């Protein structure tokens, strides 16, 4: 199954108090660079959604990482997701992994397992200890709905409208529910 990864990194992260995407982790890379490296270890095509005026090199991203600009990022995650999904028209992939730029601890084996569960007609949702996590894999059939998103609810409405197409994958990886909202979350 061919899966493209879309890393959402255009949010403001106001609870962090600074640009958390630039926060340096123990390995010396930025939070965003670390999250993108995870995606690139599993997916051949990785695209990162940034705010208008930003470049991948601003965050230490590799040159082969395609940057998608979300001009309406300030209006909410739905707008950023729509901008990223709009870039998928040139992709032959059958599913997209919607990843968040502030989740650097997802295990590579988990990403691989979720990708293997994906299909054009399913939405794959990881769950750890009863809590739904990320990334969510949307089959190609749902890409038009992703392009139409607006507001700050992300793709929640697409999942809710297509519950019958959802596949829940139980994982032992707490990285699917662990994001960075405050500087204390980096530890």
Most confident of 20-29, 46-55, 72-81: 46-55
Confidence of residue 1 (pLDDT cuts 50, 70, 90): low
Interval 112-145: pLDDT, tens: 999 999 999 999 999 999 999 999 999 999 999 9
Distance CA 63, CA 33 (A): 12
Q: Where are the alpha helices (DSSP H) in the chain?
A: 31-42, 77-86, 108-117, 143-147, 156-161
Distance CA 110, CA 143 (A): 23
Distance CA 19, CA 131 (A): 27
Q: So what's the pLDDT on residue 15?
A: 73
Q: Quick one: average pLDDT of 7-15?
A: 82
Q: So what's the pLDDT on residue 25?
A: 85
Residue 153 has pLDDT above 70, yes or no: yes
Spatial CA neighbour of 176 closest among 114, 117, 126: 126
Q: What is the set of domains in the chain, with CATH numbers?
A: 3-186 (3.90.550.10)
* Distance, first Cα to last Cα, the chain: 34
Most confident of 23-32, 49-58, 69-78, 136-145: 136-145
Contact 81, 100 (CB under 8 A): no
- Read off the pTM: 0.94
Q: Quick one: average pLDDT of 47-63?
A: 92
What DSSP character marks residue 65? S
């Amino acid at each position: 199954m061919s899966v493209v990864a879309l890393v959402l990194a255009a949010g403001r992260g106001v609870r962090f108090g600074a640009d958390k995407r630039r926060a340096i982790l123990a390995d010396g890379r930025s939070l965003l660079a670390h999250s993108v490296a995870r995606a690139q270890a599993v997916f051949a095509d990785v695209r990162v959604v940034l705010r208008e005026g930003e470049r991948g090199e601003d965050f230490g991203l590799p040159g082969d990482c395609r940057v998608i600009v979300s001009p309406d990022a300030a209006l909410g995650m739905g707008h950023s997701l729509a901008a990223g999904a709009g870039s998928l028209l040139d992709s032959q992939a059958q599913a997209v992994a919607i990843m968040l730029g502030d989740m650097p601890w997802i295990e590579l084996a988990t990403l691989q397992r979720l990708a293997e569960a994906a299909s054009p007609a399913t939405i794959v949702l990881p769950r750890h200890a009863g809590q739904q996590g990320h990334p969510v894999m949307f089959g190609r059939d749902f890409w038009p709905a992703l392009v139409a998103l607006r507001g700050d609810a992300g793709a929640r409405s697409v999942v809710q409208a297509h519950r019958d197409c959802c596949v829940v994958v139980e994982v032992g990886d707490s990285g699917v529910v662990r994001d960075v909202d405050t500087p204390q979350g980096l530890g």
